[in-house]
Amino acid sequence: MPFKFAILAGDGIGPEVTAEAVNILRVVAELGGHDFQFTQHLVGGVAIKSAGTPLPTATLDAALESDGVLMGAVGGNEFNALPPDKRPEAGLLQIRQALGGFANLRPAFAFKALGENSPLRADVIKDVDILFVRELLGGLYFGEPRAWNKDTHSAWNTMRYTRDEVIRVARVAFELARTRKKKVTSVDKANVLEVSQLWRAAVTEVAAEYPDVTLEHQLVDSCAMLLMSVPRHFDVVVTENLFGDILSDETGVISGSLGMLPSATIGGAVNLYEPVHGSAPDIAGTGKANPLGAILTAAMMLRYSAKLDQEAAAIEAAVNQVLDAGYRTADILRGNQPGQQLVTTKEMGLHVHSALTHLIDTRQSMHGV
Ligand code: NAD
């Protein structure tokens, strides 16, 4: 069965890291006998320049017709003076909204080879593997009424959820927990907020459908501390939009660099896959960008859209092998550690390419005996 992937590389380092991710997907297709079809489309600043809008209709149509959308990043200094709805970032918000994904998956894992890169102690982050499931379409970011009344010098936002909105994202978390360590931590502020009390009741309701999965509730303030002190305690963490935004960024320190972090947004018409980092205009075009976040994002696309879990795991293993071998882009190079070799974006992509080829070849020859 063919899989149609829409590639929206965007601005800055977006095209550089996305090219490496697509190369890796091509290896998977070639060696695994899969039919992956890629089409490239404009988004962000490049789309403003050539089509006058950050999300051209042709891009949105192609995204909606695809089996998965892989984005690079958008944004650039030359657009900073534009009003928010005309900037490249507006394209990102528009496509997220149009695709309708409500569950944002953000893994936070410790790479064995990068144990010394995190500001946290290596023994604290060892073997950490957390999957955040952040509700993406509700809560404070979208709730009405919202306003800043400059006459009265007051401002307000509304945190609002319906039971159904909580139930659908909780189900995603429990389903994912079933494929992992079968534990869900639901994060709220139920000691103060009514909306959190509803959240807690709805998640507890869903838990009854999953007797094989353990559910615990945590308050967001103490959870923020436990994520830094005992991160291995966590498996799947489900939480509302604002809390998820803050906690998943906090947990990003475990991986050591923004350039290593993948994400996926699922549950809508088509899933959207983006590395967590932005367009990094400060290093665009210098070959310094770390492509591993984009490559791990491509692995998520195989896992959640193409249902090719083994292939996704092979990409993740290849990334770990390359790190174990000491290859480092500038963002993850640490002066005081022996055995590291500085590589460019392209070279890093090629090392993952060859590790993956070797892994798949070995697996296939083992199947053959
Ligand atoms: P950024 O993520 O682009 O960069 C922050 C810092 O991290 C920079 O020093 C950058 O060099 C470094 N960095 C980021 N990704 C890296 C990688 N893969 N390898 C090595 N180093 C990396 O965030 P920013 O500087 O705040 O924003 C720059 C532009 O990107 C802005 O226009 C912003 O609006 C946009 N942005 C876009 C997205 C997105 O497209 N999803 C997300 C965040 C920011």
Rounded to whole angstroms, the Cα distance separating 189 from 131 reads 20
Residue 275: its pLDDT value, please?
A: 96
pTM to 2 decimals? 0.94
Residue 142: its pLDDT value, please?
A: 87
Cβ pair 169, 200 in contact under 8 A: no
Residue 368: its pLDDT value, please?
A: 54
Nearest residue by C-alpha to atom 12 in ligand 1? 280
Query: What ranges in 210-258 are assigned the alpha helix state H?
Result: 220-229, 241-251
Q: Which residue out of 277, 288, 328, 345 has the highest number of ligand 1 atoms within 8 Å of its CB and is therefore the one to mutate?
A: 277
Residue 366: its pLDDT value, please?
A: 61
Query: What ranges in the chain are assigned the alpha helix state H?
Result: 14-32, 45-51, 57-65, 88-99, 122-125, 163-178, 194-207, 220-229, 241-251, 292-304, 309-324, 345-368
H/E element, 70: strand 68-73
280 lines ligand 1 (CB under 6 A): yes
Nearest residue by C-alpha to atom 4 in ligand 1? 280
User: What's the pLDDT tens digit per position in 294-331?
Assistant: 999 999 999 999 999 999 999 999 999 999 999 999 99
Residue 361: its pLDDT value, please?
A: 83
pLDDT of 369 strictly over 50:
no
